[in-house]
Amino acid sequence: MEFDLQFFALGIPAIIFGGISKGGFGSGAAFAAGAILALVVPPGAALGIVLPLFMLIDAATLKPYWGKWHAPSAKGMVLGAIPGVAIAAAVYAFVDADVFRVLIGAICLAFVAFQVSQQLGLLKLRRLPFRRSYAWLAGAVGGFTSFVSHAGGPPTAVFLLSQGLSKLSYQATTVITFWAINWMKFIPYFYLGIFTWDTFKGALLLAPFALLGAYIGVKAHHLIPERAFFALTYVLLVLTGLRLIWVALT
């Protein structure tokens, strides 16, 4: 794997963007970082590069949001993520890389469709009372999609948004939840060979930009309008999703 100009041209803004999303906007769009990297490196290598960077971002953003999360939701989703991560690890070794490209691309497009439908009033989330079974289901789906594409944000976002949490509580809950889920993924990634010397070097090269993104995200949590941030997210995800599917099918 070569760390050429194309790698840095896409990797640096992708990781900064992922850090901003995880640090200030609920992690829902953070998986764009891995999806964009998968355009220039194999999907498995993209996973291996991004996970330690996301773990670094998690560590950097825990303190600002400490204790402000909705504990029952966080606990339920973390417990539900255990079987989700286990199932994903079991099937990962038997699936071709192009299947994951299609899956990541489809998740990108589905996320955008869901968000746009909400904003246009075509889809409305009903306010639901907290139930542990809902939290477990959200965690299981989030754990699975997080393992295969770092895309655990969208399914957990649906559950959390239906709880009617405040912006701060919502953000804090995603931070503590994915801090735990990313630690769950670490050992399976190692045994499956997703972590290599090359992915470690790639992560090390991009680490300063992950911290920069996390810093901007925490500061931007109260400053940048969510509409502007996600408008850019949608464009990036549509282009990335279509490109990944095209590469896989051709």
What pLDDT is stored for residue 27 in this prediction?
A: 59
Provide the pLDDT for residue 174. Answer: 86
Asked if residues 10 and 39 have their Cβ atoms less than 8 Å apart, the reply is yes
- Please give the pLDDT value at position 229: 59
25/242 Cα distance (integer angstroms): 24
Q: Is the pLDDT of residue 97 over 70?
A: no
Give the number of other Cβ atoms within 10 Å of residue 52's Cβ: 21
How far, CA to CA in Å, does 200 sit from each of 49, 52, 58, 237, 246?
6, 8, 18, 25, 28
Instruction: For residue range 104-122, list pLDDT tens digits in order.
Output: 678 778 777 877 787 777 7
Paired tokens of 66 = 């400490």
- Using one digit for the tens of pLDDT, what is the confidence trace for 35-73? 788 888 887 888 899 999 989 988 888 888 898 899 999
How far is residue 181 from each of residues 59, 75, 100, 119, 242, measured CA to CA in Å? 13, 11, 20, 29, 28
Q: Are 220 and 20 in contact (CB under 8 A)?
A: yes
Cα end-to-end distance, the chain, whole Å: 22
Q: 126-157: buried (b, 16+ CB within 10 Å) or exposed (e) per residue? A: eeeeeeeebbbbbbbbbbbbbbbbbbbbbbbb
Q: How far is 26 from 235, CA to CA, in rounded Å?
A: 18
Asked which of 22-31, 89-98, 199-208 is least confident by mean pLDDT, the reply is 22-31
| Cα–Cα distance measured from residue 19 to residue 227, given in angstroms and rounded to the nearest whole number | 18
Q: How confident is the model at residue 139 (pLDDT cuts 50, 70, 90)?
A: very high
